[in-house]
Amino acid sequence: MQVQAVTKYTGISAQKARLVVDEVRGKRAQDALVQLQFMPQAAAKVVAKTIKSALANATENYGLEAEDMYIAKIVADEAPRRRWRRFGARGRFKPWIRRSSHITVVLEERVAGES
């Protein structure tokens, strides 16, 4: 059974979030949370929050054990970009693009006989 959680419109660019997401893909959910706890990136907190939400969905909604769950799929997709203005010299302005991302986590239950 697959359990999903999505965090939308995070204030972190998808490129920076993918650096964190790639580290935990395919791991047990509990091990991934421990690893994310010690990562210095700001995206690690957002990814950990999404994994915790998926674990809570699995235990509360479907009655699955948190220890048996692993990360089957985790992606960081681009979200809408906001245009921002930073004023420059001679009456000009420098456009800043503030990027955001959607983080999706899909957990599956690993049976004891599987490796």
Q: How do residues 25-61 score in pLDDT, each as one tens digit? A: 999 999 999 999 999 999 999 999 999 999 999 999 9
Q: What is the pLDDT of residue 115?
A: 56
Mean of the per-residue pLDDT values for the chain? 95
Q: What is the pLDDT of residue 110?
A: 86
Structure tokens at 67: 């220890």
pLDDT at 72 over 70: yes
CA distance 68 to 55: 10
Among the CATH numbers 1.25.40.10, 3.90.110.10, 3.30.300.30, 3.90.470.10, which is that of 2-109? 3.90.470.10
Pick the more confident residue, 91 or 77: 77
| Count of CB atoms situated within 10 Å of the CB of 69 | 23
Beta bridge partner(s), residue 101: 10, 78
Q: What is the pLDDT of residue 114?
A: 62
The CA–CA distances, whole Å, from 108 to 50, 63, 93 equal 15, 13, 49
In one-letter notation, the amino acid at residue 82 is: R
